[in-house]
Every structure is written in structure tokens, then in C-alpha cells.
A = this chain, B = another copy of it.
Amino acid sequence: MAVNLTAKSAKELPVIDGIQIYVGQAGIKYENKNDITLMVLAPSAQVAGVFTRNRFCAAPVHVCKEHLQAKQGVRAIIINTGNANAGTGQHGRDDAKNICTAVAQQICCDANQVLPFSTGVILEPLPASKIITALSKVKPVHWDVAASAIMTTDTVPKAATRQITVDGKKISVTGIAKGAGMIRPNMATMLSFIATDADIEAETLSRWVKEIADKSFNCVTVDGDTSTNDSFIIIATGKSGLQQINDDNTEQAIAVKNALSEVALELATAIVRDGEGATKFITIQVNAAKTQEEARKIGYTIAHSPLVKTAFFASDANLGRLLCAIGNSGIEDLDTDKIAMFLDNVLVAENGGRAELYKEEDGARIMKKEEITVRVELQRGNERASIYTCDLSHDYVSINADYRS
């Protein structure tokens, strides 16, 4: 069902020196399934992350934030599927910490050098002892296996990579992600982990992770919901042998940030391509806005309109719905007569209504495609944003209505 998305093989995903990946079977929700993933990091690694803004955020998110604040350096990442450890109160936080302690004992570090991540059912106690028992039996694997191990109801494992050469030395970026709605039915969470062997100074990395999230994971939407567990982590192992990056303006910094951004965007859009019931991948470009915030607001209003999403599903060039969504985005001083709207390269609306030369068959031709770009030209300023989404299909309702019942 995923729109133009295929799994990547081990060969396609470069190893990142300074990270060893393991998976194991704890039997959290299913037997004979890899449901825990352990990443062990070299002591040189810098780690930074951004987390869900949902106020009901999960226990592991609390613990991740606390451990990152301790600034002792991160030596391991432990991820489980099958249970989100969300809506579990103090007991859930204790469970997450006990798992960190067990990992720490195994690899000889402090418990607050371990970051825990969970994804799966909300409101059920985490079977922490199963995870702790399984830790001693994990097996070393490559990124492709980890991409599968962190899946819940994703239909395709999601991985992306870039390699660049700076000063004759190769730098690699490899990342994985999971998620198929911003929230899955009871199976919460978008998780993504990107690693590079570049050496990036802590504060720079902290800033980058936010900037990169804003242009990737914060630009996608399936159903407008933000999960209790959403997390995005960048790891810089520093093993490439190149100089440490501590500002944005060197050739190396630009190249590495660019590679990280590309991998993040590829993973973020992979989540949309694998969106629940998705049959189409839609890019919404809002240009010539006064501020980036208003461009994003209009993009998201279009992307979240169930009427727009069902029109894409039906391949119906129902332009009134798109214009209506623009008008509905809460920009009080928007002059609708100035707006031009394109479907791919077809001008469909201008001067507050249908474009004079627009023909229904041109719109219909574009709407039949699997990948469509809606471009909105506001003629108000110089800012812009792109939002990525999918259509709303019968399968979305089926997946979400039938999941538990």
C-alpha cells in the first residue's frame, strides 16, 4: 500500500563507525519477533534529540529528557516495540529507569547514559522484566534489521543514507524511522534515529537537531495527531577522523548538515508514504508568504482538511475544497484575490476564483497521479514552507476503526 517506498538492503546502508546495533526478542506483544533494539555508542559520541510536545508524553520521553540533561554523555539507546509505556504514571517511569540500569550494567556505564524509547499500546503496563531478561540474548545486526525491529504497523521498514567526501575523507549518515500515522491506533509513535561518523560539538548538534526536525518531521502529517512518544535523535560518533564541527559555516559543516537534513526529510516523507491507508503522496508548497509560520499554517490547514484528503483519494479535481481550506487557515488579512494555486504545473486558481484558462481535464489528469504537488503563491512576502501529507481513504477508517474491535 505504501506510495513508492521500498525497503533498503544491508548493502545499501553504510555502517557508522562507533555504533554497534543489536536486536532481541522479549515477547512483549508477539513471540518470535524482534521487539527490542539496542544501540551501543562509542564514548566519543554526541547525542541530541527532540521530543513530542504532547502533554501526555510517555514515561521514556520523561526519562530521555532527564538523562540528556545530566550531560554525562550517551552510551546506549534501547528501543522496544509492542508497548508505548504511555499513560502509565510513576510506575512507567520506574520501569523505563530499571531498563536503563540493566543496559548500563551490561555495557558498563551509568544508567543516565542510556536513553529508553518505547512504541506500541498506550495505557498498559510495560513488561519491563521481559525486556531486561531479553537484553542478555541480543544479537548484533545491521541497520536494515533494526529498521524492521522498530516497526509496529508500518508496512515497509524505513531507512535512508547519504555519503559525502570532505577533505578527501568519507563521512556517512545512516538513519531509520518508524511510524505510519502521527499516531497509530493505540500503537503510538514516530521514532527516528540518525547517526553519522562526523564529529559534531554538543551545542551545535543540539541546535541542528531542532532545525532539522523543523524542516522534516515537523513538516509531515498523516492525520494531524501528535503522539505521546514521538522522538527524533541524532548521534554523531566522531569516528570519521575529521575535525570537530562547531559552527555552521565551514564547508564540512554545510555538507554534513545538508546530508543529515536530506536523510531526515527522506525518513519523514517515508512515514507519509506509508501513512495509514495512503494511496497518494501530496506535497503542499506555500510560497511568497509574509512569515514561515503563516506558510506552515496554510500548508497544514490544506493537509488536515478531510475534504481535501478525500478529494485526493477520489482523484477528484475539486478545487473549491483547496481554496476553502486556504481561506480557513486563520490568516486574517489574507487577500484571496492575489492568490494563485497550481496542481503540479497547471494553474488552477487566480483572482479569487478559477483560472480563466484552466480546464477540468487538466486538473483531472494531475489528480490521477500517485505524487502530486499543490503550490500556493500568496504574493505577500518572501517566506515559504513545504508540508507533506497523504490522502484519506476507506482503508484509513478501516485500519483505525477495526484495529481493536
Q: Which residues of A contact B (CB under 8 A)?
A: 54-57, 86-89, 92, 121-123, 181, 183, 185-186, 188, 223-228, 304-307, 310-311, 313-316, 318-321, 323-329, 331-332, 334, 336-337, 349, 351-354, 392-394, 396-398, 400-405
Contacts and interface: CB of A to CB of B under 8 A. Distances in A.
Given A224-B304, A336-B56, A404 B328 contact: no
Count of identical protomers in the assembly: 2
Closest 5 CB pairs of A and B: A56-B327, A122-B320, A314-B401, A310-B400, A55-B327
Nearest to A333: B55
A339 to B, nearest CB: 9
B352 A225 contact: no
A304 B319 CA distance: 23
A56 B404 contact: no
A314 B405 contact: yes
B353 A54 contact: no
A183 B307 CA distance: 8
Contacts of A398: 394
B320 A86 contact: yes
Contacts of A351: 89
10 contacts: A55-B328, A86-B320, A87-B353, A89-B352, A122-B323, A183-B321, A185-B307, A306-B392, A310-B396, A393-B397
Given A87-B353, A123-B320, A397 B331 contact: no
Given A394-B397, A400-B306, A56 B323 contact: yes
A225 B307 contact: yes
A278 to B, nearest CB: 13
Contact of A228 (B86, B227, B324, B404): B324
A227 B324 contact: yes
B185 A56 contact: no
A123 B306 contact: no
Given A228-B324, A310-B397, A401-B314, A55 B331 contact: yes
A198 B321 CA distance: 40
Contacts of A314: 400-405
Contact of A327 (B181, B228, B354, B400): B228
A369 to B, nearest CB: 15
